[in-house]
Amino acid sequence: MSYFDAASAAPLHPVGRQALLAALDEGWADPARLYREGRRARLLLDAAREAVAEAVECRPDELVFTPSGTRAVHAGIEGALAGRRRVGRHLIVSAVEHSSVLHAAEVHEARGGSVTEVGVDRTGAVAPDAFAGALRPDTALACLQSANHEVGTVQPVAEVAGACRAAGVPLLVDAAQSLGWGPVAGDWSLLTASAHKWGGPPGVGLLVVRKGTRFAPQGPADERESGRAAGFENIPAVVAAAASLRAVRAEAAEEAARLRELTERIRARVPALVPEAEVTGDPERRLPGIVTFSCLYVDGETVLHELDAAGFSVSSGSSCTSSTLTPSHVLRAMGVLSEGNVRVSLPPGTPAEDVERFLTVLPGVVAGVREKLGAPVTAGGVRGAERDGEGSGAAAAAGALVVDALGRRCPVPVIELARVIGDVPVGGTVRVLADDEAARLDIPAWCEMRGQEYVGEEPADRGSAHVVRRVS
């Protein structure tokens, strides 16, 4: 089995495993106690904190360990907003932040605060000028991830941090995906991360609050971790997290170059091997191991199941996956195709032959799913439907062709559009009736990929009518 989902959770690094087992014997006692076992546990905790602080490039007393990366994000946002409540209640986030950041923003807004969401371009990157333009006199906090968890795009953190610093606004950086590759550049004020993203054990997050940053921990007071993370420290897991971070950092330069070559191989060959596929994310400013692509006319959940059966563990931001009926907020913000989305995130040590086997298997998997769904696909792409429109659900109305895809989920509305576009003359239109949220993203993306014109969305009795004009 080839595990290609390191962006969700990286396998436990061998060094981390050794440290975990050793710390189970040595670090089980209460580090707040003065007897021998407690002192031994305290030494382990302090050494782990110093090691992680060195990797982050912060002071040990600026860093605390939390029960998870998500809890670090929530504690960081809540504490920073509370610490600057006299300044105002305005929060800035990017449109592609991790859901933990966006959920915290929703809670803040529900409690009467205001939130500005800064958009991104088609590569998934924010523009520093746009981010700086969102700063206001009442801005209490800004949040920006160091690199995106779905498409791998690296954000201009240093530039944004400089603008925030000039405005006197603290910047919280979610470094979950990038910290294993190196420290985060820029004059940021707060930073969060999660150990299971870099090959540490799950259940360990970290929160860094720079000296001079106003911060008021929320919730009941607790004497542990400077009052910023309540509860008994999981010292064995913390020790393993620190050991694995040090180990992956020592390997980072060499492994980054190797994984970058492998993901570049995927980026270059998928469009050549799979007709109607779109590779997303920045081609240059990206993490070494992540590559994401979307394929027209396929069901994302079925693709994942078929790849799993073929021996590959991947993830997806498609709206067709079982966990959601809406497209990934990242893909939606980028304005790129969401259907048939596949995220490949290679863990360190991935053999090149596994990637070659993936590229060999993928075209057949996609072709098989398309065939099951009835997509009119040839080796060169999608052909026009037969003139009678058999099976298309299309009807002529008011000089246009109408496709009724109401009640049908991705990728069916796009498949039906592709089947009938050849039945209208150049300049003619097709109106696709759909109530699937993904249609708002995937029909315009289809038009851009196929060289047709997306006229826009119109209200309908049910759902919406997506109007497409045939250009070629």
| Catalytic residue ranges | 320
What is the amino acid identity at position 105?
A
Distance CA(208)–CA(188), nearest Å, equals 10
227 Cβ contact partners less than 8 Å away, ≥ 6 residues apart: 217, 221
Q: Following CA atoms 237, 242, 245, 251 in sequence, which dihedral angle do they give, to the nearest 10 degrees?
A: -120
- By DSSP bridging, strand 2-3 and strand 341-345 are unpaired
CB-CB contact of 203 with 194 (8 Å): no
Q: Give the burial class of 131: count Cβ atoms within 10 A of its Cβ; 0-12 exposed, 13-18 middle, 19 or more buried.
A: buried
CB-CB contact of 7 with 345 (8 Å): yes
Distance CA(27)–CA(342), nearest Å, equals 41
Nearest residue to 242 (alpha-carbon basis) of 98, 60, 8: 60
Within 13 A of 76's CA, how many CA atoms are on the CB side? Answer: 35
Distance CA(270)–CA(293), nearest Å, equals 8
Distance CA(344)–CA(269), nearest Å, equals 14
Residue 354 is encoded by which pair of tokens? 């596994």
CB-CB contact of 183 with 56 (8 Å): yes
